[in-house]
């Protein structure tokens, strides 16, 4: 287990002092019956839209891509596909399917890695990585409902950062804006993975491609990704904001031995004169919908057909269209912020794009302060009420009795291992209470050392004595 950051350690301290608080920090995963309701609180539509996408012309007309394979390569990979298909068809768990057929979908040797200097290495993929970017806004926050777990797709395809945003632009981009682009952890590896645009959820043998859990996982992935792109395009200027709604799309796939179901997702703009109840937070104009892009049945599940579809998405859309949109937006975004130092500085706050949905607590304290007032959404590329934000933070600080350390977020987004993900159940307060450490804290309240010190000095090395 990697070292815990200060935020995660403070949360553990709070739970150890009062195990009943575990429920306050838990999130709900996609197998929870309330997960679809949580998506609805983020304006994510759960049923596919059967009406034509008014901007679908350029998407539907994506060119067919011919794989750059030699005859020998094609023969080898087709043989491997058939053997993997037979093996999984005899009864497979998710892990087996994900490590065989699912990896073959993206044809890494030609669609991802590129074949020559004329086909640059623009795309890459990650497997079961938790997205640690700040979560998108939800009505659940004001209702004091539990929030949803952050995405952790079985496989995600993204852009290589240096090909999309060169170092010169990246190093001039404020902290919060970098986190919009970088969905995964912002370390030396994660910082080079930006704008995931396609996710795949692989399921065990005989699971329907219309599986409900897989669908809500995909909707969770798509809405978070589109939210991040919207904030990025909006900061780039009105022209890019318009491009976002008309041309930016996200793709998701659910696959099993029963076939392949690919959905195309987009964000639509809620009219300004709509009811206030249509908005997740005031001024945040997004609603998320999806349509079916391709559906491959079991009897059609051959390599040629599947790779034709993936080629259209990875090359025809991502490399030939979305990459250019994002490049242009990045250049104008940095230019806009460099000409407005106040707005650039405001975006150094890692919670800038949270729309005020952040709980604060002094480090070292187990008692949360009252929630700050929810800030207005960014209405234009360069509009934010920094004075109101500072006043809220000062008010919260003044209500605390001599805090010894600055405020911190309770969200746990920067601690990948401690944040529940959509493939992991959240710990219950009962589980925490029943643990040896939980019992010891309740019965031996005089030991106020940190959990890490108690573990280090314990007889068995696991926190027990």
Secondary structure class of 239 (helix, strand, coil) = helix
Close Cβ partners of 28 (under 8 Å, ≥ 6 residues apart): 34, 35, 38, 146, 147, 148, 149, 426
- What pLDDT digit, counting tens, does each position of 92-147 carry? 789 999 999 999 999 998 888 865 555 567 999 999 999 999 999 999 999 988 99
- What pLDDT digit, counting tens, does each position of 369-384 carry? 344 333 443 444 454 4
Quote the CA–CA distance of 257 and 85 in Å, as a whole number: 7
In angstroms, the Cα distances linking 422 to 57, 147, 164, 217 are 34, 11, 28, 7
Instruction: For Cα atoms 442, 445, 451, give the angle at the middle one, nearest 5 degrees.
Output: 85
Spatial strand order of the sheet with 193-202 comes to: 123-127, 155-160, 193-202, 250-256, 259-269, 286-297
Q: Indicate the pairing of strand 360-362 with strand 193-202.
A: unpaired
Identify how many contiguous H helices and E strands the chain contains and give both numbers. Answer: 20, 8
Helix pair 212-236, 238-247: axis angle to 10 deg: 160
Quote the pTM value.
Answer: 0.76
Residue-level pLDDT, tens digit, the chain, 465 residues: 555 555 566 667 767 776 765 666 678 999 999 999 999 999 999 999 988 888 766 676 777 777 888 899 999 999 999 999 999 988 878 999 999 999 999 999 888 886 555 556 799 999 999 999 999 999 999 998 899 999 999 999 999 999 999 999 999 999 999 999 999 987 877 789 999 999 999 998 889 999 999 999 999 999 999 999 999 999 999 999 999 999 999 999 999 999 999 999 999 999 999 999 999 999 999 999 999 999 999 999 999 999 999 999 999 999 999 999 999 999 999 999 999 999 999 999 999 999 999 864 444 444 443 443 334 434 444 544 444 444 444 444 444 444 443 333 334 343 333 344 555 444 444 444 444 444 444 444 444 444 444 444 444 344 333
Quote the CA–CA distance of 180 and 228 in Å, as a whole number: 5
Quote the CA–CA distance of 106 and 361 in Å, as a whole number: 44
In angstroms, the Cα distances linking 79 to 84, 109, 192, 330, 417 are 9, 16, 34, 43, 39
């Amino acid at each position: 287990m990697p070292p815990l950051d200060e935020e995660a350690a403070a949360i553990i301290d709070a739970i150890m002092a009062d195990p009943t608080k575990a429920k306050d920090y838990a999130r709900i995963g996609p197998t929870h019956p309330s997960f679809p309701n949580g998506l609805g609180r983020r304006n994510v539509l759960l049923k596919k839209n059967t009406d034509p996408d008014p901007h679908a012309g350029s998407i539907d007309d994506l060119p067919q891509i011919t794989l750059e394979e030699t005859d020998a390569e094609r023969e080898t990979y087709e043989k491997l596909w058939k053997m993997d298909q037979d093996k999984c068809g005899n009864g497979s768990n998710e892990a087996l399917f994900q490590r065989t057929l699912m990896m073959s979908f993206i044809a890494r040797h030609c669609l991802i890695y590129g074949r020559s200097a004329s086909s640059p290495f623009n795309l890459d993929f990650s497997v079961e990585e938790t997205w640690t970017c700040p979560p998108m806004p939800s009505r659940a926050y004001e209702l004091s409902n539990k929030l949803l777990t952050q995405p952790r797709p079985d496989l995600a395809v993204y852009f290589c950062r240096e090909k999309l945003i060169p170092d010169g632009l990246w190093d001039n981009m404020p902290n919060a804006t970098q986190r919009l682009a970088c969905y995964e952890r912002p370390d030396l590896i994660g910082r080079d993975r930006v704008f995931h645009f396609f996710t795949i959820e692989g399921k065990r043998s005989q699971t329907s491609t219309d599986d409900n859990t897989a669908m809500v996982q995909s909707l969770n992935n798509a809405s978070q990704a589109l939210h991040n792109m919207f904030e990025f395009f909006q900061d780039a200027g009105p022209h890019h904001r318009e491009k976002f709604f008309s041309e930016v799309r996200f793709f998701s796939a659910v696959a099993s031995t029963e076939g392949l179901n690919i959905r195309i997702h987009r964000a639509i703009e809620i009219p300004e004169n709509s009811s206030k109840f249509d908005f997740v937070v005031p001024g945040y104009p997004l609603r998320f919908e999806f349509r079916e892009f391709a559906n491959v049945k079991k009897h059609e599940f051959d390599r040629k057909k599947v790779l034709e579809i993936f080629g259209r998405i990875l090359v025809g859309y991502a490399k030939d269209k979305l990459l250019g949109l994002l490049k242009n937006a990045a250049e104008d975004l940095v230019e806009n912020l460099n000409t407005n130092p106040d707005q650039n500085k405001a975006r150094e706050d890692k919670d800038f794009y949270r729309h005020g949905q952040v709980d604060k607590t002094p480090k070292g304290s187990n008692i949360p302060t009252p929630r700050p007032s929810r800030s207005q959404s960014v209405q234009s590329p360069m509009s934010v009420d920094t004075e109101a934000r500072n006043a809220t933070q000062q008010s919260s600080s003044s209500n605390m009795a001599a805090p010894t350390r600055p405020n911190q977020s309770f969200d746990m987004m920067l601690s990948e291992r401690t944040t529940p993900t959509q493939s992991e159940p959240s710990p219950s307060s009962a589980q925490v209470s029943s643990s040896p450490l939980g019992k010891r804290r309740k019965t031996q309240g005089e030991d106020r050392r940190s959990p890490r010190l108690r573990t280090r000095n314990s007889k068995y090395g696991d926190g027990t004595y």
